A and B are shown apart, each in its own frame.
Chain A
Amino acid sequence: MMKIAVLIKQVPGSESPLSIADSNVWLDEEKVAYIMNESDNYALEEALLLKEGTQDCEVVVVSLGPERVKKIIREGLAKGADRGMHLNINSNDVTDPLSIAKIFADALKSENFDLILSGLQSDDLGHGQTGIIIGELLKMSTGSLAVSTKLDGDQIAIKQEMEAGFFQNVRMSLPASITIQSGLNTPRYPSLKGIMGAKKKEIKTLDIDSSDQKLKISKLYLPSSSNEITMIDGSPDQIVENLVKVFKSEIKI
């Protein structure tokens, strides 16, 4: 059987208020509206598509965090994942990607997944490396920024996004851990049947102790706008006249 893990993270939605807690190192979580991280949602859809194209395939959604993250695990189950794993950690301050990857690697090791998919980066801290570190710790092949995936026997081929509009086809043996770029598919919405069915699916909880960390946020704060901008206003004709002056005498083109 082909076993695919999808690592999903619960993060503040793009419209969520972000008020900083009194500690100045994290958010006041009471006020946050959480969603499934955008690129993780695409990774989940990619796993479900692979499952649909493969005989005998299981998709497991895995999330690390406090009790609240069960919401996105259930969302994953409602969309079609077969079971969930909740790596239950009380503390919110494990923000070090290496420590986080170690927790995942330890928890996933005995499952022997053929494929681990995750979003290329989280929309909260954006370290963009956890999936690759997990793959390396588990001695898997790794690939990043996939904009398409194709299973081929005991191998997977991905199209990897590169800089400056370039792409590269990369082929690797399973087991592999691959990070997924947003936009490569159209994530589905859970059906009513899916939502009902999800209630019967298993969510295994593993309690995690806070580990030691080598990186810590010492301060979280709003950027101060130090930009000095010269506004050019007036009627369209005046704007154009002044803009041409700026081009000639200030920017010197």
Chain B
Amino acid sequence: MNILVVLEDNNGAIHRMSLEAIVAAQKISSKLKSEITVLAMGRNAEALALEASKYELNEILKINSSSLYSYSSDGYATAIEQIILEQDFKYVFFGHTYQVRDYVPKISAKLMRPFLADNIKMSISSGSIEFTKQTFNAKLLADIQTSDSGLYLVSFQSASFSSDNLKPGYSKIKKIDITIDETQIKNTYDEPFQESAGGVDLTSADIIVSVGRGIGEADNISIAKDLALALGGQLSSSRPVVDAGWLSPDHQVGSSGQSVSPKLYLALGISGAIQHVVGMKGSKNIVAINKDPEAPIFEIANYGIVGDIFEIVPKLIESLK
């Protein structure tokens, strides 16, 4: 039951969600003695492979191919297909990133093997592994059987596993050469860009104060800003606040914004819709203040306050001074 984990490049470092996928593979390995291979490719393959060598793995494959220096869904799908066809893997694991959503379905079509996407849990037994995903806008869970003997492509939702649980080790890097037929790359890609200049990097913040629809109007954002300042943290928001134009898009946390895991995530007037929660549920401590005692945010918060943010936040700022 050998497992391949595909590493995604996040500006020269392994994407956090790829590290979480390694944790999932290590969990299976410790029970079933599976071998884990990880795959580094792209412009920063060298750096990713070196970073991976610090973890307990069986092998690190590093692809050198200039055709993969910049991302293309066809190039990536073709490269991974070649690696899969050469070796005998039962599972190929990915973090459920935007890039993975773009190219992994193509591998599924090429190999005619299923892609089980966006899982949050797995249960390991000797015969097969059962994966669990959220369905119907996270209102229900579904266990999915993977019963036949062939290969499965599997991705995991952000923060389904914690990268704190990575097992350290020393792993060897093997260089491999593959040939990509560049005429098969159908798309041309421009450089990624952000809508607003400056850019708030929330991913490295220790303390985040985040506002939701409950903040009411643009003028009220200032109290959240003051609280972030008093705590020495960053200000962020859920999507409705950005859609309303009260904060720029680079403040957004959630599936179409940034994924964060600070020591403290203080949610002000955030209801806790699934699209927001996937971006912040990996926070070490979540404190939620909301008027509505039924708000779903209280299902994932560690500390909850049912109350009016306009009453509590000014007093909190005062007492922190």
Task: Check B203 against A164 for contact (C-beta < 8 Å).
Answer: yes
Query: Please, how many angstroms separate the alpha-carbon atoms of A126 and B285 in the complex?
Result: 28
Interface of A, helix, strand, loop or mixed by DSSP: mixed
Point out the residues of chain B lying under 8 angstroms from A18, CB to CB. Answer: 136, 139-140
**Which chain B residues lie closer than 8 Å to A165 at the CB level?**
194-195, 199, 249-250, 252, 257-258
Q: Does B164 contact A (CB under 8 A)?
A: no
B-chain residues with CB within 8 Å of residue A129 when the two chains form the complex:
101, 104-105, 108, 115, 117
- Docked Cα-Cα span, A172 to B140, in Å, equals 37
Report the contact-size class of chain B (Cβ under 8 Å from the partner). Answer: 35 or more
The minimal Cβ–Cβ distance linking A22 to chain B, given in whole angstroms, is 15
Q: Mark B214-257, 1 if CB is under 8 A from A, else 0.
A: 00000000000000000100000000000100000110100011
Q: Knowing A14-B137, A136-B110, A145-B101 touch, does A239 contact B307 (C-beta < 8 A)? A: yes
Instruction: Specify which chain A residues have a CB less than 8 angstroms from the CB of B291 in the assembled complex.
Output: none
User: Which of A168, A217, A222 meets B143, CB within 8 Å?
Assistant: A217
Binary interface profile of A, 79-102, with partner B (CB < 8 Å = 1, else 0)?
000000000000000001110010
- Interface of chain B, helix or strand or loop or mixed? mixed
A142 lies within 8 A of chain B by Cβ = yes
Query: In the bound complex, what is the Cα–Cα distance between A220 and B132 (angstroms)?
Result: 10
The answer to whether A240 and B134 have CB atoms under 8 Å apart is no
Task: Give complex CA distance A65, B184 in Å.
Answer: 34
CB distance from A65 to the nearest CB of B (A): 16
Taking CB as reference atom, which chain A residue is nearest B144? A215
Interface size, A (range): 35 or more
B57 CB to closest chain A CB, in angstroms?
25
- Indicate whether A239 sits within 8 Å of B305 (C-beta atoms), given known contacts A126-B134, A162-B98, A222-B141: yes
Asked if B58 is at the interface of the complex by the 8 Å CB criterion, the answer is no
B294 beta carbon closer than 8 Å to chain A: no
Q: Verify B206–A168 contact, CB threshold 8 A.
A: no
Q: How many angstroms from the CA of A144 to the CA of B71 in the assembled complex?
A: 14
In the assembled complex, the Cα of A43 lies from the Cα of B82 at a distance in Å of: 33
Q: Does A206 contact B (CB under 8 A)?
A: no
B104 touches A163 (CB 8 A): no
Contacts of B207 in A (CB 8 A): 253
A216-B147, A229-B304 as given contacts; A162 in contact with B319, CB under 8 Å:
no
- Give chain B's interface residues, CB within 8 Å of chain A: 73, 77, 97-99, 101-102, 104-106, 108-110, 112-118, 130, 133-148, 150, 186-195, 199, 203, 206-207, 231, 243, 249-250, 252, 256-259, 263-264, 284-285, 287, 298-308, 311-312, 315-316, 319-320
Q: Across chains A and B, which 10 residue pairs bring their CB atoms closest together, nearest first?
A: A136-B109, A129-B105, A132-B105, A169-B190, A141-B186, A219-B143, A218-B145, A166-B192, A144-B102, A133-B109
New contact pairs (11) apart from A168-B192, A243-B316, A251-B285, CB-CB < 8 Å: A126-B135, A127-B118, A130-B105, A132-B106, A161-B98, A164-B259, A170-B188, A218-B130, A223-B134, A231-B305, A243-B305
